Amino acid sequence: MIGFIGIGNMGGAILKGMINSNTVQASNIYVFDVDKTKMEDLKKEYNINMIENTSKLVETCNIMILAVKPHICEKVLGEIKQCIKPKQILISIAAGWSTAKLRVALEHKGKVISVMPNTPAIVGAGVIALSKDHDLDISELEEVKALLKGNGLVVMVEEEKMAATTGISGTMPACVAMYIEALTDAGVSNGLSRDFALQIAAQTVMGTAKMVLETKTHPAILKDQVCTPAGITIEAVVALEEDGFRGTVIRSVNRCTQKCLDMLK
Ligand X SMILES: NC(=O)C1=CN([C@@H]2O[C@H](COP(=O)(O)OP(=O)(O)OC[C@H]3O[C@@H](n4cnc5c(N)ncnc54)[C@H](OP(=O)(O)O)[C@@H]3O)[C@@H](O)[C@H]2O)C=CC1
Ligand Y SMILES: O=C(O)[C@@H]1CCC=N1
The residues that touch ligand X, with contacts defined as CB under 6 A, are 5-6, 8-11, 32-35, 38, 67-70, 72, 76, 93-95, 116-119, 170
Our CA angle for 172, 203, 249, nearest 5°, is 30
Tell me the closest approach of the beta carbon of residue 72 to ligand X, in angstroms.
4
Distances (CA, A) of 257 to 9, 160, 165, 250, 263: 21, 11, 8, 11, 10
By a kind-dependent CB cut-off of 5 to 8 A, residue 69 interacts, out of ligand Y, ligand X, none, with ligand X
- Tell me the residue number closest to ligand X, measured at CB: 8
Residue 187 found at the interface with ligand Y (CB under 6 A): no
Q: Which does 132 bind (CB under 5 to 8 A by kind): ligand Y, ligand X, none?
A: none
Q: Indicate whether 171 belongs to the interface with ligand Y (CB under 6 A).
A: yes
**Whose Cβ is closer to ligand X: residue 61's or residue 94's?**
94
CB closer to ligand Y, 69 vs 218: 69
Contact 93, 116 (CB under 8 A): yes
Helix (H, G, I), strand (E, B) or coil at 153: strand
| Partners of residue 130 on adjacent β-strands | 115, 156
Min CB(86)–ligand X separation in Å = 23
Residue 31, amino acid: V
- Nearest residue (CB) to ligand X, 201 versus 264: 264
CB of residue 170 to ligand Y, shortest distance in Å: 4
Pairing type for strands 29-32 and 49-50 reads parallel
- # residues contacting ligand Y (CB under 6 A): 4
Q: In what helix (H) or strand (E) does residue 165 lie, and over which residues does it extend?
A: helix 162-165
Where is 112: in which H helix or E strand?
strand 111-116
The one of ligand Y, ligand X, none whose footprint includes residue 197, by CB under 5 to 8 A per kind, is none
Nearer to ligand Y, 124 or 173 (CB): 173
Partners of 29 in beta bridges: 2
Q: CB nearer to ligand Y: give 170 or 187.
A: 170
CA distances, 222 to each of 41, 168, 208, 210, 262 (Å): 43, 21, 9, 12, 36
Please list every residue from 91 through 110 that binds ligand Y, using CB under 6 A: 95
Q: How far is the CB of 173 from ligand Y (least distance, A)?
A: 8
Q: How are beta strands 111-116 and 126-134 bridged, if at all?
A: antiparallel
The answer to whether 169 contacts ligand Y (rule: CB under 6 A) is no
Least separation in angstroms between residue 205's CB and ligand X is 17
Contact status: 170 vs ligand Y (CB under 6 A) = yes
**Cα gap 150→145, rounded to integer Å:** 9
Tell me if residue 211 falls in helix, strand or coil.
helix
Residue 152 as a binder of ligand Y (CB under 6 A): the answer is no
Three-class SS state of 130: strand
Q: Which residues bind ligand Y (CB under 6 A)?
A: 95, 166, 170-171
